[in-house]
Amino acid sequence: MDDPVQAQYEAYPYPARDPRDEARRLVTGSPSELAEVNHYLFAGRRDFRRPFRALVAGGGTGDAAIMLGQQLADRGGAGEVVYLDLSSAARRTAEARAEVRGLANVTFVTGALEDLPSLGLGTFDYIDCCGVLHHLEDPATGLRALAAVLEEPGGMGLMLYGEYGRTGVYPMQAMLRELGRGLKLEDRVGLARRLMADLPGTNWLRRNPYLGDHERSDAELVDLFLHSRDRAFTVPQLAELARSAGLDIVAFVEPARYEPTTYLGDPELLARLEGLDRVERAGFAEALAGNLKKHIFYAAKAGSGDGRVARPDRPEAVPILGRLPAAALAAALKREAALKVDLDGMALSLPLPGLDGEIVARIDGRTSLAELHADLQEHRPNLDWLAFKAAFDRVYEALGGLNHLWIAYPPSDQ
């Protein structure tokens, strides 16, 4: 095995997972949760009971493949998932997780994603590739290989490291290469822990408290500080990478973190940004915030991106609260009339007064805007559609901006 990246993931499959945990919880997250994919790539109109092929490229120990496989199985349809990874150790964990769940719709393949066009695995409606391309010798070649097996209409959910938010990581990597010369990977783990414990207060890692992954496990530590090949991207570099593979970036997650108005209040400065397009605004927001450690984004074939993201502009739109329980959120809004969040050190308070909280309390992932309006009218008879919609739009901007609210349309509406 001469590829150092493959050797690393054979020794430290990532992320560390115990298949027995499948009996008690499903790991979910961005990208690739099915309702989120529907929202950002299929305008909320994909019926997942119809045939749907997903590829998880560089699937690691299986988080995305298991989540997609389970969610497709739950919808009772003809959806299938292909898992692909270089590491057979990672694959063993992923396979064991599928077995605990009794998932029959996930196929496991060991191989390099660069070889996809010749692997004979077919084409895919959706491709997940998280935390992988930045480890390739040539990320653009990898992305082009993925684009070559992407169906149209279809799309990708990607995660690549963010340059500014990883401030402190690369000097650590350089020091550890120096300190660890000639040592085996497992011995360098101990060295990394010693160095972390002895860093001066001025060190950039010490000054970047939002990088805590390495404290969770050896696999996380190896991934962060002892990686054999790893680079980070700015938004303009991502846009160029996507362009080189014939793709457009459709949306960043969480959208609000990529929008300058989230951070800037000065109207004169904001006015000067008005001519920028969505991706340029995202690049500005990234430079401004400085804390984006990773970029999660959805991409589609160039020129096909317009209208991909669902909009709540019709009464039959069904809002779905992503990972926040409606009752807890509504209770918090009742107390504070604002949604308070902390985004890696950036505190936000989004006002959501009275009616907005009542709307949130009624969102159950099945009820349409028209039905929510009718329900609210029972005790607010004067609430017309325009006033309801204005309140819902505030909710959508706040919660959607944080990727907590997605939109779907009923399958009959396709």
Ligand X SMILES: C[S@@+](CC[C@H](N)C(=O)[O-])C[C@H]1O[C@@H](n2cnc3c(N)ncnc32)[C@H](O)[C@@H]1O
Binding site for ligand X (CB under 6 A): 5, 9, 14-15, 58-60, 63, 84-87, 90, 112-114, 130-132, 135-136, 223
- Torsion from C-alpha of 364, 126, 137, 244, nearest 10 degrees: -110
Contacts of 169 (CB under 8 A, 6+ apart): 205, 211, 224, 225, 232
Which residue's CB comes closest to ligand X? 60
* Pairing label, strands 294-301, 124-130: unpaired
- Cα separations (Å) of 363 from 114, 162, 395? 42, 33, 11
Report the alpha-carbon distance of residue 236 to residue 240 in Å, rounded.
Answer: 6
Buried b (16+ CB within 10 A) or exposed e, 54-74: bbbbbbbbbbbbbbbbbbbbe
**Identity of the residue, 16 or 343, whose beta carbon is nearer to ligand X in the bound complex:** 16
DSSP state of 23: G
Q: State the nearest-atom distance from the C-beta of 27 to ligand X, in Å.
A: 9
Q: Which helix (H) or strand (E) holds 179?
A: helix 169-179
Contacts of 62 (CB under 8 A, 6+ apart): 17, 83, 90, 93, 94, 95, 97, 98
**Identity of the residue, 88 or 203, whose beta carbon is nearer to ligand X in the bound complex:** 88
Q: State the nearest-atom distance from the C-beta of 106 to ligand X, in Å.
A: 14
Q: State the nearest-atom distance from the C-beta of 176 to ligand X, in Å.
A: 18
Q: State the nearest-atom distance from the C-beta of 115 to ligand X, in Å.
A: 8
Token output for 26 = 């499903």
Q: State the nearest-atom distance from the C-beta of 53 to ligand X, in Å.
A: 18
Q: State the nearest-atom distance from the C-beta of 127 to ligand X, in Å.
A: 11
**Identity of the residue, 1 or 386, whose beta carbon is nearer to ligand X in the bound complex:** 1
**Identity of the residue, 223 or 286, whose beta carbon is nearer to ligand X in the bound complex:** 223
Contact 124, 37 (CB under 8 A): no
Token output for 361 = 């309390």
Q: State the nearest-atom distance from the C-beta of 101 to ligand X, in Å.
A: 17
DSSP state of 162: B
Q: State the nearest-atom distance from the C-beta of 366 to ligand X, in Å.
A: 30
Token output for 9 = 């993931």
**Identity of the residue, 227 or 243, whose beta carbon is nearer to ligand X in the bound complex:** 227
Q: State the nearest-atom distance from the C-beta of 262 to ligand X, in Å.
A: 26
Token output for 149 = 């097996």
- Mapped onto helix, strand or coil, the DSSP state of residue 55 is strand
**Identity of the residue, 60 or 260, whose beta carbon is nearer to ligand X in the bound complex:** 60
**Identity of the residue, 90 or 189, whose beta carbon is nearer to ligand X in the bound complex:** 90
**Identity of the residue, 15 or 260, whose beta carbon is nearer to ligand X in the bound complex:** 15
**Identity of the residue, 63 or 254, whose beta carbon is nearer to ligand X in the bound complex:** 63
Report the alpha-carbon distance of residue 86 to residue 136 in Å, rounded.
Answer: 12
**N-terminal to C-terminal alpha carbon distance within the chain:** 49
Contact 149, 116 (CB under 8 A): yes
